[in-house]
Amino acid sequence: MATEHILEVENLVVKYGPIWAVNGTSFFVDDREIVSILGANGAGKTSTLKALSGLIARDGKITFLSKNISKTDAHKIPYLGLTLCPERRGIFPDMSVEDNLLMGAYTIRKNKKMIRQNTEKVYGLFERLAERRKQLSGTLSGGEQQMLAIGRALMNEPKLLMLDEPSLGLSPKLVDFIFDSLKAINKSGTAILLVEQNAMVATEISNRIYVMQNGRFALSGNAKEIDFQTLKMKYLGG
Amino acid sequence: MKKYLWFTPFVLVPLPFLGYPFLISIFVLIGIYTIAAIGMDILTTWAGQISLGNAAFFAIGAYTSAIMIVNFHIPFLIAFLVSGFLSMLIGILVGLPALRVSGFYLAVVTMAFGIAIQQIIGVFQITGGYNGIRNIPAPSFWIFKASNPIYQYYIVLFIIFLAFVIISRVSFSKSGLALFAMRDSEIAATAFGVNLLKYKLAAFASSAALTGFAGSLYASAIGFISPSQFDLTLSLDLLAIVIVGGAGSVIGVMIGAAFFVGLPFLLSGYNFSITIIQGIALILILLFLPKGLVQAFKIGKVRKKA
Amino acid sequence: MIFQQIIAGIITGALYAIVALGLVIAYKVTGVMNFAYGYMGMISAYIFFTCFSVIGMNYIFAFLISVAFGAFVSYAVERGLLRPVRNISPASMVIITLGLLLLLEGIALQVWGNNYQQIPNLLNGLPLILKFSGGIIVIPQQNLLILGLVTGVIIALILYLNLTFQGKAMRAVAQNEEVSKLMGINSSLMMSISWIISGAIGSLAAVLVAPQTFVYPDMMLSLQIMGFTAAVLGGFESIPGSIIGGISIGVIENLVGTYISTNLKTTFSLAIIVAILLIKPEGLLGSAKARRV
């Protein structure tokens, strides 16, 4: 039986001048799945996500919800239900928490009721944000900024949420909290494509994983069946 | 010696035009602007500092020299040297704030300096106020009077040559490397032990000195100076000359000066506004010849990419 | 006397402030410091002169046409000239706008000549006279108009940027263009809008100041210099910064002109501003953090 993947990537190539950051990768994400792309720094993970969200030039075929988005402009992609929560948080520092969330709702800006509902949902998920809704987001702590970035990405109710290194620079306790939240987000029906260096936490919540090395997949499979020690030793440098 | 050879054509250039002193005086003017623009080049290209006030050094040089010669009958050569020296001292003073501010802030500080000097000159008696100083004699050396433009041409050419020789020596020395390092990254330069303070001030000092010398020559060559000649436009023109001709290259600066100073004379017979051409040229050159017109010639390079 | 000077300073400063605002908004969203800004406004003043004095149009109508024209020129410059090369260095970008300055100056000379053209005040009625125990203050109606329009523009801009969805999206682009795209914001459109607003503001300033300066190719030079200085003094960051920067310079200038020296007004004012910048190199309201280039 041919399954309909919500995201299907065939032969993705990303080049920065003469350097090939992503070298012909193919993968897919199914509805309601959590998929992780793991790998060391510079393996091509972030480039993969940037390519999917249209921020950088890419070759290959990207199909999202049966629509070819290989040539679509970055700012049109969130309208289709594919949203990237960027690396290093990328919040708007001179705006309040509430306004940051509002920007996440840009694609549904005509629907005030939906914006209100989604804002409440985000505040329900991250109570810390609700307490700080009027605060300038540049003054938030690292963990709060990460919550804000995730909350903002959820504002337009994506079908597939892509996250770039959500654990970056956070304490183990906060990492656990963030990943629990991701599980909860997934439970409510959002598929997740995660890019992580922190292989252990990512593998724990994932259905499937891909391991990236020098712009290619060196390994892929069901998260439960991967031998974690081998993965760590062989591909992630200890 | 080989790298100085490209200078020889310039020695011969005016010879066919000996019968047209007006034409040669335009060459002189181009040469004077070249000297001032080399000063700008040192500051912007070498030290990575921006200046929107170099017209002030030009004015300081011109007025110092003119006042010494006209009011106090001091010989040209002394007036000339004092002009450059005074300019240099003031350049160091202006350079001091640059140690604290950069970017737009430095642009404002230098621009303010330029406007202030122009206004101050317009107020005082000794500078002739807004009427300026008239009848400044041509450069003279003891009994020899360089009233014929051809002599002025060779004086100016000689100074450009001197500047070129000094620049080529410095650019290959340790100081030159330090300057390039500072332009590319102040942090990295500091890490390698470059004394930023010293080199920034040196850049301001030499830029101001050269521009002051140019001002002194200008006063004696034109014979008349007034505050309106040293406005913000002159500062911007000096910057534009460097960009159009080719930053970091003496011959590039010469080409730029010829373009900005010579072209208006060429087109003076037509009723067409020169700044249209200059503006379009500036834009096109930045887009298609980012290293300036000299890119099209590839000669007289003082240095390769650092 | 001193109040009269302060009021006069606030009015001059208000013009500096909106020029600063126009420069800052374009800079924040697109990263281009526009050195041709005043000259773009100057072209609009000539358009006004042509519509009103040559063709004989209604004042308000000519005013609206010239501001709309300025907005369009600004849009065209950003979209057609600057956008295609936005990856070159900031220094080169500045030089391109200097080239544009020369070009516009040349066009004005070519089309309208270098005569000083006069345009009248919109309001010529009796000045407003305020009497109080300390003396009297006289404010010409045209100055009240300037103050009113500038205040109106500033309030409208603050409301737009802080309360509307589009205005907030524009601030988002200014803070992080890449991330704003991820939200679905059409950053390219926002850049165009920022230049349209900036161009309209510059034209407004030019038409308002024209009755005092006359219309000629360099008419906006001093306003541009002081507007730029005001923006820098305010920290090149924000609307409040530009307003405070502009008003301070206007007041300083008028007080210096009255009490210290008329001839060296600009010199002393600039000296004070340079002193402020040396003490506080990031400007009055600027922050020390890395800003967009």
**B194, B182 contact by CB (below 8 A):** yes
pLDDT at A85: 96
Q: How far apart are CA B156 and CA B218, in angstroms?
A: 10
What residues in A contact C165, CB-CB < 8 Å? Answer: 102, 106, 109
* DSSP state for residue C289 in the 8-state scheme: S
Of the pLDDT bands very low, low, confident and very high (cuts 50, 70, 90), residue A226 is confident
Query: In b/e form, how buried is each residue of A167-194, taking b as 16+ CB within 10 angstroms?
Result: beebeeebbebbbebbeebbeeebbbbb
Question: Closest Cα partner for B39 from B259, B242, B278?
Answer: B242
Of the pLDDT bands very low, low, confident and very high (cuts 50, 70, 90), residue A237 is low
* Gap from C110 CA to chain B (nearest CA, Å): 6
Q: Give tens-digit pLDDT for C101-128.
A: 999 999 999 999 989 999 988 888 888 8
Alpha helices in C50-186 (DSSP H): 59-76, 90-112, 141-163, 165-175, 177-182
**C245, C232 contact by CB (below 8 A):** yes
Sheet strands (E) in chain B = 140-141, 144-145
CB nearest to B119's CB, from C236, C266, C273: C266
A contact residues 177-216, partner C, Cβ 8 Å cutoff: none
The whole-model pTM stands at 0.89
Q: Is B43 on the interface with C (CB under 8 A)?
A: no
CB nearest to C263's CB, from B104, B123, B277: B123
Domains of chain A, first to last: 1-81+158-231 (3.40.50.300), 91-156 (no CATH)
Q: Tell me the two tokens of residue B246.
A: 């080719």
Q: Tell me the two tokens of residue B158.
A: 């000689």
More confident residue, A119 or C120: A119
**C104, C70 contact by CB (below 8 A):** no
* DSSP state for residue B44 in the 8-state scheme: I
Average pLDDT along chain C: 91
pLDDT at A144: 94
Chains A and C are touching, with contact defined as 3 or more CB–CB pairs separated by less than 8 Å:
yes
In this prediction the ipTM stands at 0.92
Q: Give tens-digit pLDDT for C129-149.
A: 888 887 888 889 999 999 999
Domains of chain C, first to last: 2-279 (1.10.3470)
Which chain A residue is nearest to residue C181, measuring alpha carbons? A75
* Gap from A106 CA to chain C (nearest CA, Å): 6
Mean pLDDT by 10 residues, chain B (306 residues): 78 84 92 96 86 95 96 95 97 86 83 93 90 91 84 93 88 74 71 74 94 97 94 92 89 93 85 88 88 70 42
Q: Tell me the two tokens of residue A51.
A: 């390519």
Range of A210-219, C59-68, C225-234 with top mean pLDDT: C59-68
What residues in B contact C106, CB-CB < 8 Å? Answer: 273-279
